[in-house]
Amino acid sequence: MPRVDRLVLGIFGRINAGKSTLMNLLTQQETSIVDSQPGTTADIKSSVMEIHSLGPVRILDTAGLDEASDLGGKKRKKALAALEEVDIALMVVDPVQAFLSGQLEVEELVASMAARKGRKLALIFNMKSECENSLPASGATLAEAKEFCRTVLPDRKNTPEISANLSVKKDYVNIVEFIASSRPEEMEPVPLLPFLNPRNPVLMHIPLDAESPTGRLLRPQEMAMEYLLRMMVPVGLYRTDLALARSNSKMLEKRERERFLEFLTAMDDSESGVQLVITDSQAIDVMARWVPENIPLTTFSIMMINQTAGGDMSLFAKGVDEMNRLTQSSRVLIAEACNHDRIAEDIGTVQIPGKLEKLFPGITVDHAFGREFPDAEKLQDYQLVIHCGGCMISRQKLSARIGRLSEAGVPITNYGFALSWFEGPEVLLRVLKPWRMK
């Protein structure tokens, strides 16, 4: 199935500013617990939905950034990590609460970090019903309280703001329209395989292994198949027995190769011929030998990272060059975004580490699985990060990871790049050629 590119909204602010109230207003249900007890939101609450004027969205409700406890410190760290991954940072401020506190540390932190990370900031004043009654004793007006809050904005002129009572449902339309008007300029969606034509067939090479799920294909394979069918591209699927393809028995290897070539030849026996073979990265050693040089070849992993990275793989191409500088004393991080138990010849825990160890005996290889990723300080321990295709994370999350790596000065490459590099520079150039990369 195609991946849905969602607008990511993050809700940030201090304790009891009205963040969870905004979450519930947007989702129109009690998604987050709302209570006057400080620290009610224990972890990031995520809700996926469709809002007509916004399209598909993911909304993140984060914990208050001013919770003073050890646990509060952990919540704060996760909330700020979420800010790296949003398209719009919705900063909820109770102007009276902020003014009477006499400080704007939380608001300044959110505003400055959004500016530093290039995230769109939108200011929402939560006009609680008791707002007007809380200020007279201080001698200040509500307008003065709001102006006090605006002093932390790095770019006041271009920071949209709205005042609304977030606990009143009638303000829903105004809030949604405000968010819609605040959204950053939309990126053009990146086609999965932008260089294909609708006439020539494509061969998808899918070597099902012990880790392949029963009853379905892996997400990149499903996405490629759906894309090709939608684009009216003739497509064929083929499974090679990799154990036979890599067999020490020349007879078994030859038999498996001839079986594959018979299928490929049948597909290629037309006026136009096969325009692309796309393979699981772990089989690039076999496909690079078997697929004739005149037929373009690439991998699912490279296809996925190109789309997730917005069509710009230059960082991953630069990163793979760092593999030429690895040594026995190097430290490498392998990052895989999906969660599954690792068995058999797993690419991230067995195949790539094994190939690295063979070339650089004693090299240190660490792993980061799922949605967690080290901060910039910890990333400085590594000479290189080798990332999966990123099919299970959003472009925003990948962008956040790349941002941390850039801050740490650490190169990044990808499974498809790395596994092709292991087979030699000619193979690496070959799998990148369809993408117009040199």
Question: Is 102 found in the same domain as 127?
Answer: yes
**What average pLDDT score do residues 131-148 get?**
78
Q: Which domain holds residue 373?
A: 312-422
Question: Is 316 found in the same domain as 293?
Answer: no
Question: Is 214 found in the same domain as 360?
Answer: no
Question: Is 374 found in the same domain as 259?
Answer: no
Model pLDDT for residues 406-431, shown as the tens digit of each residue: 999 999 999 999 999 999 999 999 99
pLDDT, position 344: 56
Which of 182, 213, 231 is the endpoint of a domain? 182
Alpha-helical runs (H) found in 183-249:
219-230, 242-245
Q: Provide the domain count of the chain.
A: 3
User: 188 in a domain, yes or no?
Assistant: no
User: 173 in a domain, yes or no?
Assistant: yes
Spatial strand order of the sheet with 331-336 comes to 364-369, 331-336, 384-387, 412-414
Question: Is 39 found in the same domain as 163?
Answer: yes
Question: Is 402 found in the same domain as 352?
Answer: yes
Q: Phi first, then psi: what are they for 117, rounded to 5°?
A: -90, 0
Question: Is 216 found in the same domain as 169?
Answer: no
CA distance 264 to 266: 5
CA distances from 45 to 9, 74, 107, 328 (A): 12, 15, 20, 43
Q: Which of 144-153, 226-235, 314-323, 333-342 has the lowest mean pLDDT?
A: 333-342
Contacts within 8 Å (CB) and 24+ apart, 246-251: 246/285, 246/286
Question: Is 237 found in the same domain as 161?
Answer: no
Alpha-helical runs (H) found in 18-69:
19-27
pLDDT band at 390 (very low <50, low <70, confident <90, very high): confident
pLDDT at 225 exceeding the cut of 60: yes
Model pLDDT for residues 243-269, shown as the tens digit of each residue: 999 999 999 999 999 999 999 999 987
Contact status, residue 80 vs residue 86, Cβ threshold 8 Å: no
User: 226 in a domain, yes or no?
Assistant: yes
Model pLDDT for residues 164-212, shown as the tens digit of each residue: 999 888 899 999 999 999 988 876 778 999 999 999 999 999 997 766 6
How is residue 188 annotated by DSSP? P
Question: Buried b / exposed e across 345-370, counting CB within 10 Å, b at 16+?
Answer: ebbbbebbbebbeeebeebbbeebbe
Question: Is 333 found in the same domain as 212?
Answer: no
Question: Is 20 found in the same domain as 140?
Answer: yes
**What average pLDDT score do residues 371-397 get?**
90
For the four alpha carbons of 410, 415, 420 and 423, in that order, the dihedral sign comes to positive
pLDDT band at 1 (very low <50, low <70, confident <90, very high): very low
Alpha-helical runs (H) found in 270-394:
284-290, 300-308, 314-321, 352-359, 376-379
Question: Buried b / exposed e across 137-171, counting CB within 10 Å, b at 16+?
Answer: eeebebeebbebbbebbeeeeebebbbbbbbeeeb
Q: What is the mean pLDDT of the chain?
A: 89
Model pLDDT for residues 280-335, shown as the tens digit of each residue: 999 999 999 999 999 999 999 999 999 988 899 999 999 999 999 999 999 999 99
Which of 153, 182, 211 is the endpoint of a domain? 182
Question: Is 141 found in the same domain as 46?
Answer: yes
User: 436 in a domain, yes or no?
Assistant: no
% of the chain beyond a pLDDT of 90: 68
pLDDT at 271 exceeding the cut of 60: yes
Q: Which contiguous run of DSSP H or E holds residue 134? A: helix 131-134
pLDDT, position 129: 64
What's the CATH code of the domain at 356?
A: 3.40.50.11410
Question: Is 231 found in the same domain as 117?
Answer: no
Model pLDDT for residues 30-79, shown as the tens digit of each residue: 766 555 555 555 678 999 999 888 889 999 999 999 887 777 778 888 89
User: 196 in a domain, yes or no?
Assistant: no
Tokens for 78?
């996760």
